[in-house]
């Protein structure tokens, strides 16, 4: 039996040196130490030995088993070290080489237009005010002179959450929040998302962006409003741009007006963009209605103000010559990369 164990040990020593992988080492372990392994097979033969021979044979078998287990552990460690060295040699990094250039993104065109508007009005002394997109009916409608039963409250046109809570349809609601907590002089703009139950097409979307402005102070006139909008129009559409105000009706301003600018495509001569009229409508505005001021505890006999609302998508369509606003939301990198 000892001769058999010596043969097994010698065979193992030869094979362990030839094993070059962790899988090869595992195969050797099974071959020599497994349930059907060579050493296990020899130990099963001990039952045929005499009681005097068994202790010495058992000790010899245990010594060979211990040797095999120890050598397998050492060889595994040696192979792991070799694999690590090969990996380090293969994956060496030259830190002096130029890095792989990373693709750099840019602002979305709607964000670019919004930031440009904000810089313009901040330069004119306005502050940026923000408010909730999920709004109370009171701030979105009632406080802005749109009483219960007004067509603008139609559930077909507005996203209601409950009878008194909705997704805001205009950022004018921010103006009410500001006037409730701050007394004149007030000069703010409120950019942000608004929601209306419109079908999505080339010129309409159920989600779009507005930038509304509000000025309240002593002695504010329609002339101040017109001058402000002229500065805006020249900055956004070109230095030679002119504006015109057409009488209109908004419940929260009186008097109210729609504002047109000379067409950026033809300079007012008439073209496809302006449908031959030479003018393009860009925003609505007016003097803040006295009732709106009273609801915010501002005396309309002492203070007056003006407000305006600008569609950011409409401005971006004009600035970039885009005919379909859906392109702004489709996330096509080929389109967005142009800006």
Delineate the domains of the chain, giving CATH numbers in brackets: 2-90 (no CATH), 109-336 (3.30.930.10)
**The token pair that represents 76 in the structure block:** 């595994």
User: Cis bond leading into 185, ω under 30°?
Assistant: yes
How far, in Å, CA of 209 to CA of 203, rounded? 13
pLDDT band at 96 (very low <50, low <70, confident <90, very high): confident
Range 148-156 average pLDDT: 76
Q: The whole model's pTM is what? A: 0.68
Q: CA nearest 126: which of 115, 137, 134, 118?
A: 118
The pLDDT, as a whole number, for residue 202 is 81
* DSSP H stretches of helix in 91-163: 109-123, 137-140
Is residue 39 a contact partner of residue 69, using CB atoms and an 8 Å limit? no
169-187: pLDDT as tens digits: 999 999 999 999 999 999 9
C-alpha 233: how far from its chain's center? Answer: 30
150 versus 111: the higher-pLDDT residue is 111
Q: For a pLDDT cut of 90, what percent of the chain falls above it?
A: 46
Is residue 269 a contact partner of residue 278, using CB atoms and an 8 Å limit? yes
Question: How do beta strands 186-195 and 127-128 pair?
Answer: parallel
pLDDT band at 201 (very low <50, low <70, confident <90, very high): confident
How far, in Å, CA of 130 to CA of 111, rounded? 16
The pLDDT, as a whole number, for residue 297 is 95
The pLDDT, as a whole number, for residue 156 is 67
- Torsion angle, CA of 225/227/231/232, rounded to 10 degrees? 20
Compute CA distances 17 → 14, 66, 68, 139, 191, whole Å: 6, 17, 12, 84, 75
25-76: pLDDT as tens digits: 788 777 777 777 677 666 666 666 667 666 776 677 777 778 778 888 888 8
Cβ burial of 301 (10 Å; 0-12, 13-18, 19+) is: exposed
∠ CA 269-271-274, rounded to 5°: 95
Query: Among the listed ranges 90-94, 237-241, 296-300, which one has the minimum average pLDDT value?
Result: 90-94
The pLDDT, as a whole number, for residue 54 is 67
């Amino acid at each position: 039996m000892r001769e058999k164990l010596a043969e097994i040990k010698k065979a193992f020593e030869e094979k362990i040196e030839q094993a070059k992988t962790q899988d090869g080492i595992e195969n050797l372990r099974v071959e020599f130490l497994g349930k059907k392994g060579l050493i296990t097979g020899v130990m099963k033969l001990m039952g045929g030995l005499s009681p005097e021979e068994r202790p010495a044979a058992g000790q010899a078998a245990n010594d060979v088993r211990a040797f095999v287990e120890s050598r397998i552990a050492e060889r595994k460690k040696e192979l792991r070290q070799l694999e690590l060295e090969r990996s380090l040699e293969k994956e060496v990094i030259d830190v002096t080489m130029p890095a792989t250039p990373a693709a750099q993104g840019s602002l979305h065109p709607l964000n670019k237009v919004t930031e440009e508007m904000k810089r313009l009005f901040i330069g004119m002394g306005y502050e940026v005010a923000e408010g909730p997109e999920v709004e109370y009916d009171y701030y979105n409608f009632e406080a802005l002179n749109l009483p219960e039963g007004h067509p603008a409250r139609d559930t077909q046109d507005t996203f209601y959450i409950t009878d008194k809570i909705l997704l805001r349809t205009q950022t004018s609601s921010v103006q009410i929040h500001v006037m409730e907590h701050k007394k004149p002089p007030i000069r703010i703009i409120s950019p942000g998302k608004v929601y209306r139950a419109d079908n999505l097409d080339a010129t309409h979307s159920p989600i779009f962006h507005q930038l509304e402005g509000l000025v309240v102070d002593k002695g504010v006139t329609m002339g101040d409003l017109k001058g402000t909008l002229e500065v805006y129009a020249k900055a956004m559409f070109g230095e030679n741009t002119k504006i015109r105000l057409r009488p209109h009706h908004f419940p929260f301003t009186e008097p109210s007006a729609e504002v047109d600018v000379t067409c950026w495509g033809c300079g007012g001569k008439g073209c496809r963009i302006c449908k031959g009229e030479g003018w393009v409508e860009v925003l609505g505005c007016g003097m803040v209605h006295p009732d709106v001021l009273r609801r915010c505890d501002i005396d309309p006999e002492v203070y007056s103000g003006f407000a305006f609302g600008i569609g950011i998508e409409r401005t971006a369509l004009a600035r970039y010559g885009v005919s379909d606003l859906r392109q702004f939301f489709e996330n096509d990198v080929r389109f967005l990369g142009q800006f």
